[in-house]
Amino acid sequence: EPEVTQTPSHQVTQMGQEVILRCVPISNHLYFYWYRQILGQKVEFLVSFYNNEISEKSEIFDDQFSVERPDGSNFTLKIRSTKLEDSAMYFCASSRVNTEAFFGQGTRLTVV
Amino acid sequence: AQSVTQLDSQVPVFEEAPVELRCNYSSSVSVYLFWYVQYPNQGLQLLLKYLSGSTLVKGINGFEAEFNKSQTSFHLRKPSVHISDTAEYFCAVSGSHLYNQGGKLIFGQGTELSVKP
């Protein structure tokens, strides 16, 4: 069964460093998303991406965040200058028209 | 705008007992409703969804949920739980007009189901 894959599963980075989280969505899906879950809190929407551009973003998705689909298969989330409060589980998801979102297993980001 | 409230953060239950996980939502537009499950150290997996039609929907692993529009609820139930059902359960909504266009999900805070022998 096709699945969304995310790498790495765990990333530790120093405050102020740039980090790139990678995702390979399901191949025939058209919509791509990033969500995050801070420990003990709810899963929050960050951004959705369609047709090579952002279709919606939340208030959390400020200028330090960016997304890219560099090669037609990967979908990346870049955090330019990480802060302690960026520590969270980041989930990538993808969907087709008229389907639910399929989620990856997540990348646990720890900022120290 | 939509919001989701899961009234119970933790639900302990004994094996083979019935369980109900509660979910209420708020929305100014019609919505589609979902339950996702997250097993330890895994991602989110769709358990079931309500889009239209019968208000009682059945999902994987013997779970079912009932959509109640008047009470704006979408409670999840299972008549007899197993140890393997221990996981975190998330209720989520999406505006139905956005579903065809990759609309985002709004999640509740999650309910940790702990099944004890």
Averages of pLDDT over each 10 residues, chain A, 112 residues? 91 97 94 93 93 93 95 93 96 88 95 98
Structure tokens at B48: 């079931």
The per-residue pLDDT for range B54-107, each reduced to its tens digit, is 999 999 999 999 999 999 999 999 999 999 999 999 999 988 777 667 789 999
Chain centroid, CA B22 distance in Å = 8
pLDDT at B99 (0 to 100): 67
- Count of CB atoms situated within 10 Å of the CB of A47: 20
Up-side HSE of residue A69: CA atoms within 13 Å toward CB? Answer: 20
Q: Kindly determine whether residue B43 and residue A103, on different chains, have CB atoms separated by under 8 Å.
A: yes
The per-residue pLDDT for range B29-60, each reduced to its tens digit, is 888 999 999 998 788 999 999 998 899 999 99
* Cross-chain CB nearest to B43 (options A44, A56, A91): A91
Output b/e per residue, B47-79; b: 16+ Cβ within 10 A. Answer: bbbbeeeeeebebeeebbbbbeeeebbbbbebe
Q: Which residues of A touch B40 (CB under 8 A)?
A: none
